[in-house]
Structure 1
Amino acid sequence: MTFANVGTLGALPGRRDEIVTILTRLNADLAEAGCLLYEVGVNEDAPDTVFVAELWESAEAHRASLQLESVRSAIAEAMPLLSGEMGGERFEVVGSPLRA
C-alpha cells in the first residue's frame, strides 16, 4: 500500500534555501528505492520552514531509503542547518480521485 510522509522542517534563520538546495538535488537512488513522489516547497509566510511531501511504494521502502548512502549524506549535510522544529504526518494512502 502506498505510504505518504508529509511534513515540515524548521530551518535556522536564513538557512532555508540551503536546505532546499540539498533536498532538491537529483537523486536517482530514490526512485530505485520505491519513491513515487518527493516534492519540496516553501511559503514566504513561513520563511524558516521547508515543506516536504513524499509518496513511497510502502512504509518499508521509505525506511530502507534511510540507509542509502546518498540519503544519509544529504541528511548529514542538512542537519547543521535545521532548528530541530519538525512536524508532519505519516499515513497509508487509501485512494485518490486521480487514478483507478
Structure 2
Amino acid sequence: MEPLDRRTLLASATAATGLAACGIQTRKETSMYGLIGKFTATDGNRDALMRILIDGVSGMPGCLSYIVASDPTDANAIWITEAWDSQESHSASLSMPIVQDAITKGRPMIAGMERIAETRPEGGHGLDT
C-alpha cells in the first residue's frame, strides 16, 4: 500500500470536515435490534400458527425484517428472526392492535416459546443501514 500524498490527504480531510459541517452522519447514531426466537406449536397447529404470525406483521413501524420459518427437522417448531431499527421500536410494536390480535389468536396454539438470542444487526441484504 502506497502512502498518501499531501494533496490526497488534504482532500480527504477537507471532505470529512465538510460532511461533519453539513450534519451528515457517517456512523449510525442508534443500534439496530434483532431477535431470534423459537416457537413450538401444539401438535398439528404449526401451519396455522405461522399464518397468524405472518399476517400479524404488516405495518410495524421500525421493523426492517421479520422472517417466519418452519423447522425441517421438527414438525412443531417455528423460527422467527427479526431486525428492527431500535429496541424501542420492537417494544412499541408489542402494544399495536394487530400484534395484540395475533397474540390472542395464536396463544392457544403455542406449546412453548424460547428467546434464543438478542442481536445487533450490522447490515446485510434487505436492511436499510
- Matched residues, number: 97
Percent of paired sites with the same residue? 26
Cα distance in 1, alignment partners of residues 104 and 116 from structure 2? 20
Residue identity in the other structure for 1:41: A
**Relative to 1, partners in 2 of residues 1:12 and 1:35: Cα closer, same or farther, differing over 3 Å?**
same
Give the Å deviation of 1:29.
2.2
Cα distance in 2, alignment partners of residues 43 and 84 from structure 1? 14
Cα distance in 2, alignment partners of residues 26 and 81 from structure 1? 15
- Compute the RMSD of aligned alpha carbons: 1.9
SS at match of 1:28: coil
Structure 2: 5+ residue stretches without partners = 1-30
Q: Tell me, yes or no, if structure 1 residue 88 matches structure 2 residue 116.
A: yes
Show the counterpart of 2:59.
29
**Relative to 1, partners in 2 of residues 1:26 and 1:8: Cα closer, same or farther, differing over 3 Å?**
closer
Cα distance in 1, alignment partners of residues 92 and 72 from structure 2? 33
Structure 1: 5+ residue stretches without partners = none
For residues 31-88 of structure 1, the C-alpha deviation after alignment (integer angstroms, 9 at most, x for no partner) is xx10000010012211111110100000010000001000000011100000024241
Runs of 4+ that moved beyond 6 A:
none
Cα distance in 1, alignment partners of residues 76 and 65 from structure 2? 23
Cα distance in 2, alignment partners of residues 97 and 77 from structure 1? 32
Show the counterpart of 1:20.
50
Give the Å deviation of 1:97.
6.3
Cα distance in 2, alignment partners of residues 75 and 62 from structure 1? 15
